Amino acid sequence: MTDKKHHIPLRSLVHRTLLLCTLYIVLSPLELSAAPIEHYRDSGATYLSDRLCMHWNTHATTTFIKGEFFDHLSADSAPVPTLMMAGTRSHVTNYRRPKLEELQPRQEDPRGMYLYNNVTQAYKWAPICETGGIISSINLEICRLGRDAARKYIATGDTAYRNIARNILHTYMHGVFYTRMPQDILHGHMQTLVGLQTFEVIHEETVPFLTETYRLLKEDSSYIAHRPSYIEPAFKHWADIIIANGVPHNNWDLMQARFIFNIGQCLLPDSAYTDAKGRDYYFDIVENSRSVRQWSLRTLTDYGYDPATAIWCECPGYSQVVLSDLAEFVRLYRDELGRDLQSELPIIPRAARANIEYLYPDSMIMGFGDTHPHRLNPAVYAKLGIDLSTLHPSRMFAAPKTSWLVQRTGMDPRHSLAFSLNASQGNHMHANGISLELYGCGLRLAPDAGIGYSLYSGDDYREYYSRFPAHNTVCVDGVSDYPVMMSQQPFRILAMDTLPVQYAEVYMLDSETRADQQRLVLMTDHYFIDIFRSRRQDGKDRFHDYFYHNLGTAITMNLPTTPSDELAFAGGHLYAYSYLYDVQGTTDNVQSTPIVTYSIPDGTQMTQWTMPTPDTRYFRALAPSTEGLSRLKDMPYDIRNTPTLTYVARRYGEAWTHPFVHVFEPTAPYKPSVIDHVEFPEVIIKDRHTTSAVAVLVVRKDGHQDLFVSTDNDRARVKVNGKTYKGRLTCTSF
């Protein structure tokens, strides 16, 4: 029996995306298609500087925050306008960021900002704590235009551009001089992260624009003689706050170091200042410091890079940020100091070459953790003198320091297959157990869900996107969980090879339930086999949930189902279960092979065969959209606004003697199916050491058959179809 195609109903889209549709993330100025500096030449020397978000009236020196939100201002008053801080740590807001032309000059109002609300579709006074990153975005755009004006002045000699650049620089830096470090009234973690103008020192992104503006203006001898005395002390004050705050053991350190280096470039030698803190002092911070929150480049690279694999200790997306920043330091050291940083830190070119291993056959990085897949940046490699086109991924690669591995049949984007396994070791990782991604027919057909639409501070990230049910994994008793971000939950590789077929087997202990979890993934040129064993060490197993998510707009199952509320936040289960909806479950103990098909509008399909086991119920459901892929262009359907097709197998009791066994075959109009059917032969265990053994027989349309026998120990001796097989894994074709 086959159900009708399970299309995604409109009411479901509304039910699960309504909240997401009311959230808006402020785009950076580089994404806003802002007018070029020429547009403002005749607007007046103070037109742009008057539209900076400053404390024009109060001149307050200190912003008080309450955790991740603006709270109030100090009552004191500086002699000049001071910096206005961002409204929140997150950039998410319901308000539209106004264009510069929509701003009133020198605007500061106790009611907040007068903004257009995207939800109510009307203008209103928005409290600062609801404005997300709007303030930072406006100031960043104006500071970038100030830098552009300085460049234009140097190129043309047109004093109109000089006056624009000078007024932006002087207004902003005079404010910096009198602005004190923000204070968290909760005395919490945010106090160690804040910058002068943002909730995170890594987002003090006006620094490089302002420092370049100052350096360019100093090329004018008339400016040198009359430059304000507060500018360099203000830059030093800013650098000291960046050094005092932040995070030293990940990508933050390099972003902070880049700002510190930018400021150092503006300064004179140490001897020019009474406090002996000049150019050399700040360059030395970058190179040699190991203060509490600012490590040197060598300390950081020694800590973060695996000397064996040259892989960085964060998820793939953030590893790209680190490599990009290091490449920029290579350029800065070469141009500013006349030194070859790559010879001093040889891990950098090694890391650039190892970075190629993150790629799937579509030449974009894999998506686990806080990652959005994208292509590698050739400009980064150009700074390192490496031709990216000469680098090629290997068929098999593992990185224990970040607990992931990848296997590829090749790098043909349409015909090659690939899979990746990851646990959680390092920064920006999720609570995902042993998570699986499958690539085939040019797509990440079984993808990682992504970060979510409200970033790290949002409920969708905390409750769903960073948790077990958002991943292709097994959740024990509905409670498997552990801290995200800086996670310490690696797997151990039991075996991996490319012959006779490509495969990898890993083990992980689920810390929440003390459950043994073991996953074996096999890959041929045409299909995947996934065998997942899971059991609690104390034997108190209630149930094990196998989660699988696939791209597509329609899901079919060859079994009758009825609406079910069994997959729910109830009985102490994870909040993430509440994000599953339109859940349909099988009603009886299933004896036949459950077959599920996931369909994509371009004709691509994933077909899944499941080994039926006792005490198992099968579900199909919808889950939040695959946010991780929502930024990619040329996808076959609107992924951002389409729920993710989801399959769940719930095994009551343990899932070790009767593990989860699935076969996945990706097909497309140009890549037809090769599988006729799949069987799961009986396995007779003939030794006393083996507790789990399964067999999978894939019968191809051309008559060939592939038999795979998997056990849970190396000394196993089992019989399948009258023949004896030994060991943990046997693969036979006939």
In whole angstroms, give the CA distance from residue 457 to residue 450. 14
Provide the β-strand partners of residue 623: 644
In a domain, 715, yes or no: yes
Helix (H) or strand (E) holding 697: strand 693-700
- Choose the final residue of a domain: 210, 245, 280: 245
In a domain, 161, yes or no: yes
R_g of the chain computed on alpha carbons: 29
Q: How many domains does the chain have?
A: 2
- Choose the final residue of a domain: 245, 274, 290: 245
Identity of the amino acid at 535: R
- Buried (b) or exposed (e) across 174-209, using 16+ Cβ within 10 A? bbbbbbbebbbeeeeebbebbbbbbbbbbbbbbbbb
Both structure tokens of 393: 């991924």
Per-residue pLDDT of 484-510, as tens digits, reads 999 999 999 999 999 889 999 999 999
In a domain, 190, yes or no: yes
Q: What pLDDT sits at residue 599?
A: 98
Cα atoms found within 13 Å of the Cα of residue 266, Cβ hemisphere only: 25
In whole angstroms, give the CA distance from residue 280 to residue 82. 28
399 within 8 A of 462, measured Cβ to Cβ: no
- Choose the final residue of a domain: 219, 245, 271: 245
In a domain, 5, yes or no: no
Q: What pLDDT sits at residue 221?
A: 86
In a domain, 482, yes or no: no
In a domain, 180, yes or no: yes
Domain assignment of residue 698, given as a range: 674-734
Q: What pLDDT sits at residue 26?
A: 45
In whole angstroms, give the CA distance from residue 150 to residue 157. 10
**pTM across the whole model:** 0.90
Residues with pLDDT less than 70, the chain: 1-33
Q: What pLDDT sits at residue 588?
A: 76
Q: What HEC string does 366-410 produce?
A: CCCCCCCCCECCHHHHHHCCCCHHHCCCCCEEEEHHHCEEEEECC
In whole angstroms, give the CA distance from residue 280 to residue 264. 7
DSSP states of 124-163 = EEEPGGG-TTHHHHHHHHHHHHHHHHHHHHHHH--HHHHH
Residue 1: how many CB atoms within 10 A of its CB? Answer: 7
In whole angstroms, give the CA distance from residue 212 to residue 364. 33
Q: What pLDDT sits at residue 148?
A: 98
Identity of the amino acid at 623: A
| Residues 6 or more apart whose Cβ sits within 8 Å of residue 130 | 87, 88, 93, 94, 95, 112
| Residues 6 or more apart whose Cβ sits within 8 Å of residue 382 | none
In a domain, 160, yes or no: yes
Per-residue pLDDT of 91-135, as tens digits, reads 889 999 999 999 999 999 999 999 999 999 999 999 999 999 999
In a domain, 197, yes or no: yes
Q: What pLDDT sits at residue 2?
A: 39
371 within 8 A of 318, measured Cβ to Cβ: yes
